[in-house]
């Protein structure tokens, strides 16, 4: 039975220690060993929302993207109204038209994605970007 959390070693903040006096003499003769300090191989990652927010703000610097985003917002509001109207009237033709507007939303998102690709600078990992003048 465990007596609590104190018996579990903290692997992040603890450092490595060797008991060289009681047996590990091969380490003493071969080379000098540094045993203190914690290894931090990774830098702190930014959250997905912060990265997405930064990319959206960079896309919105383009004037065409602002117009497309306004049209996207108008289309989303219209689709929501149409979905509510479909639910109340139970009309099959209105439902089909509403699904067409949902397809238009994805088409507009594809336009925004193409603007994002255009503003990317070419790198070895992302070689198909070009700069908008």
The pTM assigned to this predicted structure is 0.59
What is the average per-residue pLDDT within 113-122? 87
Burial class for 98, CB neighbours closer than 10 Å (0-12, 13-18, 19+): buried
- pLDDT value of residue 18: 53
- pLDDT value of residue 24: 52
The two tokens of residue 41 are 């191989």
Of residues 125 and 47, which shows the higher confidence score?
Answer: 47
With bands split at pLDDT 50, 70 and 90, how would you rate the model's confidence at 53? Answer: very high
CB 62 within 8 A of CB 117: no
Q: Of 69-73, 95-99, 127-131, which gets the smallest average pLDDT?
A: 127-131
């Amino acid at each position: 039975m465990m007596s609590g959390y104190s018996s579990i070693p903290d692997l992040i903040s603890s450092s490595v220690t060797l008991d060289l006096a009681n047996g590990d003499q091969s380490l003493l003769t071969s080379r000098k060993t540094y045993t203190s300090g914690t290894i931090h191989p990774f830098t702190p990652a930014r959250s997905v929302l912060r990265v997405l927010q930064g990319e959206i703000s960079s896309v919105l610097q383009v004037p065409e993207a602002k117009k497309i985003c306004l049209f996207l917002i108008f289309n989303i509001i219209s689709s929501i109204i149409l979905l509510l109207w479909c639910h109340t009237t139970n009309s099959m033709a209105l439902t089909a038209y509403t699904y067409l507007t949902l397809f238009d939303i994805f088409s507009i998102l594809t336009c925004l994605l193409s603007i994002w690709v255009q503003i990317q600078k070419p790198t070895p990992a992302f070689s198909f970007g070009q700069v908008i003048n």
